[in-house]
Amino acid sequence: MALITNILNNAAAVAKGMSVTLVEMLQPTITDAYPEGPAKLEERYRGVHVLQRDENGLEKCVGCFLCAAACPSNCIYIEAAENTEEGRISGGERYASVYNIDYSRCIFCGFCVEACPTDAITHGHKFEIASYNTSTLVYRKEQMLTPLPADFKPLVVKQEAPSAGH
Ligand code: SF4
Ligand code: SF4
């Protein structure tokens, strides 16, 4: 009797399991077709960094080195230079004349993004950067900097004329 009960219980368990399989088979597929199609990434996905510009098209990075100091992998290399009246690159006193990230070392932890006081560095969604040549994994500023739109016109701030009569 115990044997029959055992067989019936096992058969019921198999039937229950197969019913789940059957129900799932009838559901629409949600498998991503990557790499045939684009990968679906969450908004907060941490991919290759993007160096941002402000509303005037100037680079937001002011060459303060805080991101490099916060980086646990020591993979950010920066050289800073002074802005001049003739050549203004960023909104601050200085800008990053060189800004490299070595993606053979980056662990995409986001500490650099958290440390940046000007929101100059953010994570983008680019992730297909695997390479057999590690020297190609050192990304330069020019590869990460947001391009200016073709129709970009910088904001012009009107200077108020000094009031007369005082
Ligand atoms: S994400 Fe992390 S490891 Fe990568 S550059 Fe930023 S701080 Fe360094
Ligand atoms: S990205 Fe941000 S934290 Fe890093 S040097 Fe530029 S302004 Fe400073």
What local confidence, expressed as pLDDT, does residue 1 receive?
Answer: 79
The CATH number of 49-144, from 3.30.70.3270, 1.10.3720.10, 3.50.50.60, 3.10.28.10, is 3.30.70.3270
For 95, other C-beta atoms within 10 Å of its C-beta total 23
Residue 164 has pLDDT above 60, yes or no: no
Which of 122, 96, 125, 102 has its CA nearest to residue 110? Answer: 122
State if residue 69 touches ligand 1 by the CB under 6 angstroms criterion: no
Q: Looking at residue 166, what is its pLDDT?
A: 47
Binning pLDDT at 50, 70 and 90, where does residue 103 land?
Answer: very high
Burial 129-160 (b: 16+ CB within 10 A, else e): eeeeeeeebebebeebbeeeeeeeeeeeeeee
Which residue minimizes the CA distance to atom 8 of ligand 1? 71
| pLDDT mean across residues, the chain | 91
Structure tokens at 37: 């199609």
Residue 2 in tokens: 């115990």
**Residue whose CA is closest, atom 2 of ligand 2?**
116
Domain range list for the chain: 49-144
From 111, 123, 126, 129, give the residue whose CB has the most ligand 1 atoms within 8 Å, as the site to mutate: 111
Percent of the chain scoring above 70 in pLDDT: 92
pLDDT band at 31 (very low <50, low <70, confident <90, very high): confident
User: What's the whole-model pTM score?
Assistant: 0.77
Task: Summarize the confidence of residues 126-138 as an average pLDDT.
Answer: 95
Kindly give the distance from the C-alpha atom of residue 115 to the centroid of ligand 2, in angstroms, as a whole number.
8
Q: In angstroms, rounded to a whole number, what is the distance separating the alpha carbons of residues 70 and 102?
A: 15
Whether the Cβ atoms of residue 60 and residue 96 lie closer than 8 Å to each other: no
